[in-house]
Chain A
Amino acid sequence: MPVFPSIEWFDTVRTAANETPEFRALGSNETNFGVKVGDQLIRLDFYAFECVSVAEIDEDGLLDVDFYLEMEPERWQSFIQHIQSNGVADAQHTFNTLDLNEPGGILRSHDPYRRNNFFRYHLTIQKFFDSAAAVETTY
């Protein structure tokens, strides 16, 4: 059973998302972004209609991504568990809402133009994480 956060977990979600017609139907993407879980950093690359790769990166790697989403490990855990119990993230748990409600937000970027890619693709990114609903996870 994949552990969150790990490459194995993100790869399993990646496979699940890429096989979901609704994920692909949201349209093409061209973005890469980071997921920061405490000290752990994962980079996801989206291209065309799928997530093409996941990889571990270090802090310097955050300079190369369009943006990254940062939450404490327990917040991420609660986010994933919510998706798994609800099937999808409800309106209170979308990244957009979490960013708006959290003082300081959860969306970070070193480049304002590249940061805009979150808004361009936020439905796709959300749908990607919704695919975690079917992934058995340990923490």
Chain B
Amino acid sequence: MSTQQQSLEAVKDYADDYDLKLDWLDTRGEWGIKATPDARKGLTLEDIQTGSYGEVPDHTDNMTGRLRGAAQREGAYRTGGYTVRTKSDIWLTNAAMLYEEALQRQWSSATDIPWDTIKPLPDDVERAQCQLATFLTEVEFVAADVPGKWVAATSPDYFEPRMFLITQIMDESRHLDVFRKRAFANGGGLMQRPDVTTSGVVGSIDLSKDFTEMSSRLHISGEGAVLTIFRMGELMAYNEAEKYMYRLCGQDESRHVAFGVMHMRYLAETEPERKAEVHAYLDEGERALVAGNQNPAARDTAQSEALAVLLGGGQKHYDEGYKKLLAIRKRQSREYIQRIKSAGFGERFENGRANPELMEYAKA
């Protein structure tokens, strides 16, 4: 039986005899790779991080769309205007795992939500639900819109976080659609759009010139706050459909938060000189957490009033609902603090830099 090498030599001899050009056969990445699937998970991206293919460059000038490990081709067009070409700008240790998890834990807003469990609600409760749904559709639109820009800006040498962002776009699109469907599912409709989701701090997510700047605003401040709201969904849902919406959205959101925390941790460990800059982003994010429209549990917004109505069980029980809202705010603040500590930026809670109002919320 001939080996692969013997077969190749035979093909080359044949090519020589007939003056055929087969030099492309020698132009390739590392050869002889045989990735082994995980017995339970199947063949994952982690399983193919093998040999030089698993070596991620600290910096790359690859502007041509060549995937990591493929042989270069002379004369390739510079098709990509990649601005993210430094590993620490976007990297995290487990992007491949989060990507695979995102693929495995997809769901459908059309068929996984028991829409038939929604029954007519009192008008004030329905309006509050629709107000919150209006807010969430716009927030989720922003959360899907922003990563798209960064997908196109990231070098293919860092395809793992890039592909995770693509799953996030899918997740956020589904969140947009599930809340839009909820607004139209029970005799209501969309209501007042939030004042500043496309301006102010949330709008500034899209103005970020640096990936970490964007991620600190989107994944850490924004999605972290919304994750707490989704968790509280159990307490303000009026039927199984709403409970499922919040539960399923919550698991997606926690994956996005995990991405942000792990990226921040990687940056803090590899480029500590950038920590001061990140603290400045966090200053801004904390102001929004306590008083901005990015956070539906912040004070004095249409959506915070809607939350109080839903949590209380109607407009008549607004005060009771507002007390529950304060409990949410406290939990949000505590979870935020834990998250930032885990990301490697906990010193701001020791040195007085953290927002005093936020710290008061956490203590209350």
Interface residues of A (CB under 8 A from B): 26-30, 47-50, 52, 91, 94, 96-97, 100-101, 111-113, 115-116, 119-123
Q: In the complex, what's the smallest C-beta–C-beta distance from B132 to chain A, in angstroms?
A: 17
B265: nearest chain-A partner, CB-CB: A113
| Known A28-B105, A121-B251, A123-B251; contact A116-B258, beta-carbon cutoff 8 A | yes
With A122-B250, A122-B251 as given contacts, are A97 and B40 in contact (CB-CB < 8 Å)?
no
Known: A113-B342, A119-B227, A120-B258. Contact between A91 and B237, CB under 8 A? yes
* CB-CB nearest 3 A-B residue pairs: A27-B105, A48-B40, A112-B338
Residues on A with C-beta less than 8 A from B237 are: 91
Chain B interface, number of residues (Cβ within 8 angstroms) = 35
One digit per residue, 1 when the CB lies within 8 angstroms of any chain A CB and 0 when it does not, for chain B 328-358 equals 0001000000110111000000000000000
A-B pairs with beta carbons under 8 Å apart, 14 shown? A28-B41, A28-B100, A30-B97, A30-B101, A47-B40, A49-B40, A49-B41, A100-B235, A112-B341, A112-B342, A113-B262, A120-B251, A122-B250, A123-B248
- Chain A residues with Cβ below 8 Å from B240 are 91
In the complex, what's the smallest C-beta–C-beta distance from A5 to chain B, in angstroms?
A: 25
B26 within 8 A of A: no
**CB contacts between A and B, total, < 8 Å:** 75
Assess the A26–B231 pair: CB atoms within 8 A.
no
Whether A100 lies near B261 (C-beta < 8 A) is no
| Complex Cα–Cα for A94 and B342 (A) | 26
Q: Which of B76-122 contact A (CB under 8 A)?
A: 97, 100-101, 104-106
B147 nearest CB across to chain A (Å): 19
Residues in A with CB closer than 8 Å to B257 are 116
How distant is the Cα of A49 from the Cα of B103 in the complex, in angstroms?
13
Min distance, Cβ A127 to any Cβ of chain B, angstroms: 11
Docked complex Cα distance between A48 and B104 (Å): 10
Determine if A26 and B254 form an interchain contact, defined as CB atoms under 8 angstroms apart. Answer: no
**Within the assembled complex, what's the spacing in Å between the Cα atoms of A101 and B232?**
10
Contacts of B251 in A (CB 8 A): 119-123
B247 at interface (Cβ–Cβ under 8 A)? yes
Q: Are B38 and A113 in contact (CB under 8 A)?
A: no
